[in-house]
Amino acid sequence: MVDTPVQPTSEQPDMVGDDADHALDHTIVLPWWQHPLNILTLLVTVALVAGMVGWLVADARSQSAGNDVDVGFLQDMREHHEQAVAMGFIYLDLPDTQPGLRTVARSIVMGQSIDIGRMIQMLRDLGADEANMGDTAMAWMGMASEVGSMPGMASREELNELSASAGDTADRRFVGLMTDHHLGGIHMAEYAAEHADTPEVRAMAAAMAAAQLGEIIEMQQLLD
């Protein structure tokens, strides 16, 4: 006798489909914060952020608060620079002056104006006054000078003479006054480069001394 295959009917359950649905119904989906990979990623991120914050705090604490040389140099050199900028503008307004020296004068005006802005910001960072509020300058160098009479500073009479000149006379007066001015600035800058406490002030002072010496040499060559 031959067995007749039993045909499935609509009443017979599809076991494969039911089993799959049953298994799917019991799959547990973890929240993102419980997934092992997400937890590991979060821990690594937190560790990196904590390390960065710690480095920033340590770096901030390691920065010097500055000393009397830092503050005194920045305050006095700011005023010293301001006269050099004014002298440069005076010269640039004079007639029949030498083109090469006019280029140097523009460079001095621009470069020292930028320096003034940097020095003001450094003084703010040090929590100091943006200018020397007293009557005495150079105390940070162990010297005593009136604020307006620092080494190399031109007198009012000398500035008036420069303003009233023209041509070759103006060229020679400008070079003479600016050379003396730069020599006084170099004296201050070299002291600060050696005795200032903050690396930024020391580096700036050294750069100033080098730049002003280069300008003295250039002006003398143009005048000869």
- What are the C-alpha distances in Å from 27 to residues 16, 19, 23, 38, 199? 17, 13, 7, 19, 63
Q: pLDDT truncated to tens, each residue of the chain (224 aa)?
A: 445 454 544 444 454 455 545 544 555 555 555 556 655 565 556 556 555 545 454 444 445 678 999 999 999 999 999 999 999 999 999 999 999 999 999 999 999 999 999 999 999 999 999 999 988 999 999 988 888 889 999 999 999 999 999 999 999 999 999 999 999 999 999 999 999 999 999 999 999 999 999 999 999 999 98
Residue 1 maps to a domain: no
145 DSSP β-pair partners: 137
13 class by beta-carbon count within 10 Å (0-12 exposed, 13-18 middle, 19+ buried): exposed
CATH code: domain of residue 177: 1.20.1260.10
Q: Are 64 and 203 in contact (CB under 8 A)?
A: no
**Confidence (pLDDT) at 147:** 80
135 class by beta-carbon count within 10 Å (0-12 exposed, 13-18 middle, 19+ buried): exposed
CA–CA distance, 174 with 169 (Å, rounded to integer)? 8
Residue 101 maps to a domain: yes
Residue 155 maps to a domain: yes
Instruction: Identify the domain containing residue 116 by its residue range.
Output: 62-223
Residue 41 maps to a domain: no
**Confidence (pLDDT) at 221:** 96
Determine the 3-state secondary structure of 52 from DSSP. Answer: helix
136 DSSP β-pair partners: 146
Nearest to 112 by CA among 209, 208, 189: 208
**Confidence (pLDDT) at 52:** 56
How many domains, the chain?
Answer: 1
Residue 53 maps to a domain: no
Task: Show the DSSP H helices in the chain as ranges.
Answer: 15-25, 36-62, 68-92, 99-125, 156-163, 167-195, 199-223
Residue 51 maps to a domain: no
Residue 111 maps to a domain: yes
Residue 109 CB neighbour total at 10 angstroms: 18
**Confidence (pLDDT) at 42:** 56
Phi, psi of 145 (to 5 degrees): -150, 150
**Confidence (pLDDT) at 39:** 56
Residue 99 maps to a domain: yes
